């Protein structure tokens, strides 16, 4: 528990919240007093995540939501408003990443379309459905999960393009929504220890050496950044990308290592 109550009385919807960063965000905001709707395409896992949080006395519900489907998104937003009486915060965590094939020219259209439709267009669908409700409260906040992949080259062409697109959407939507009392921001994580890295301990260890702070991220690191940007502590922040990456993009550790070895 954080001891903070920054979200008391707030209704919150989190996409992609069955596990990983999304689940950590749901937990953090609920611990700070929010009423949270955990949504995910994986309905059974979303139910399990919500049930575990309720056992801790937190106000959490679960609902299946496919961000690739407009009707599903609109139903999730409507459910949150009905269940909680308002929607004050939207956190967009849902994403899809298709591994690159060896040659760029062999990438299938379907893989490109899938990554963009869930990661970028899915966020657009959620923002579109939620914005009128967020504006009605006069204290609305949208926080989306981007990636350092949207800032530099770490592979994954489609996923990286989608994450870069989220940075642009954050800025343009922030400009549109500011007059309506809604702030829009983005968190760009580096490597975070989630289920995507299970069974890949060797890769995680190799990557860890690139981080100036000496470790990869944990879901709780990202949840803390989301909680800040969604709260009134960030009342004068909108349209920004907060990079949470242990110094990866600021410090070229490989360059420094090469100099030391020379």
Q: Tell me the per-residue pLDDT of 136-148, one tens digit each, with 9 for 90 and over.
A: 988 999 999 999 9
For the segment 24-32, the average pLDDT, to the nearest whole number, is 98
Residue 140 and residue 130: Cα distance in Å, rounded? Answer: 10
Question: Angle at which helices 20-31 and 43-54 pack, to 10 degrees?
Answer: 30
Q: What is the mean pLDDT of the chain?
A: 95
- What local confidence, expressed as pLDDT, does residue 260 receive? 87
Residues 202-217 as b or e (16 or more Cβ within 10 Å = b): eeeeebeebbeeeebb
Q: Average pLDDT for residues 16-32, to the nearest whole number?
A: 98
Q: In what order do the strands lie in the sheet with 11-14?
A: 60-64, 35-40, 11-14, 89-92, 141-145, 183-189, 241-244
76-to-1, 158, 223, 254 alpha-carbon distances in Å: 27, 26, 21, 45
Tell whether the model's pLDDT for residue 1 goes beyond 80: no
**DSSP three-state, residue 151:** coil
The pLDDT > 70 percentage for the chain reads 99
Domains assigned to the chain: 11-261 (3.40.50.720)
Dump pLDDT digits (tens) for 205-241: 889 999 999 999 999 999 999 999 999 999 999 999 9
Predicted confidence band at 117 (pLDDT cuts at 50, 70, 90)? very high
Q: Looking at residue 195, what is its pLDDT?
A: 84
Q: Is 135 exposed, middle or buried (0-12, 13-18, 19+ CB in 10 A)?
A: middle
Mean pLDDT of 77-99: 97
Ranking 105-119, 176-190, 247-261 by mean pLDDT, the lowest is 247-261
The closest of 244, 224, 229 to 146, measured between CA atoms, is 244
Return the pLDDT at 198: 82
Checking if the pLDDT of 93 tops 70, the result is yes
What is the model's pLDDT at position 24?
98
| pLDDT for 90 beyond 80 | yes
Cβ proximity of 146 and 171 under 8 Å: no
Instruction: Determine the pLDDT at residue 72.
Output: 98
Across 183-194, average pLDDT = 96
Q: Tell me how crowded residue 120 is: count the other CB atoms within 10 A of its CB.
A: 23
List the Cα angle 56/57/62 in 5-degree steps. 85
Cβ(8)–Cβ(36) below 8 Å: no
Q: Residue 2: pLDDT above 80?
A: no
Q: What pLDDT score does 230 carry?
A: 98
pLDDT band at 261 (very low <50, low <70, confident <90, very high): confident
Tokens linked to 49: 């995540």
pTM: 0.95
Q: If DSSP codes are grouped into helix, strand and coil, which group holds residue 242?
A: strand
Question: Among all residues, which ones are annotated catalytic?
Answer: 159
């Amino acid at each position: 528990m954080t001891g903070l109550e920054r979200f008391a009385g707030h209704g919150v919807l989190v996409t992609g919240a069955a596990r990983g960063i999304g689940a950590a965000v749901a937990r953090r905001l609920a611990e700070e007093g929010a009423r949270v709707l955990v949504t995910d395409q994986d309905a059974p896992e979303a139910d399990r995540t919500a049930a575990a949080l309720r056992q801790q006395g937190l106000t959490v519900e679960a609902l299946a939501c496919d961000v690739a489907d407009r009707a599903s998104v609109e139903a999730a937003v409507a459910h949150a408003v009905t269940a909680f009486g308002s929607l004050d915060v939207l956190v967009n965590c849902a994403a899809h990443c298709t591994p690159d094939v060896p040659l760029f020219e062999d990438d299938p259209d379907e893989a490109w379309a899938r990554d963009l439709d869930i990661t970028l267009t899915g966020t657009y669908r959620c923002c579109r459905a939620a914005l009128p409700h967020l504006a009605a409260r006069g204290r609305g906040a949208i926080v989306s999960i981007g990636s350092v992949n949207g800032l530099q080259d770490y592979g994954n062409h489609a996923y990286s393009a989608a994450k870069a697109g989220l940075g642009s959407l954050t800025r343009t939507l922030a400009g549109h929504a500011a007059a309506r009392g809604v702030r829009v921001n983005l968190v760009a994580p580096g490597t975070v220890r989630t289920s995507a890295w299970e069974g890949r301990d060797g890769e995680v260890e190799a990557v860890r050496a690139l981080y100036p702070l000496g470790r990869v991220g944990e879901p709780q690191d990202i949840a803390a950044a989301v909680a800040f940007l969604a709260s009134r502590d960030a009342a004068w922040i909108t349209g920004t990308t907060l990079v949470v990456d242990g110094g990866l993009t600021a410090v070229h550790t490989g360059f420094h290592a090469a100099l030391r070895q020379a």
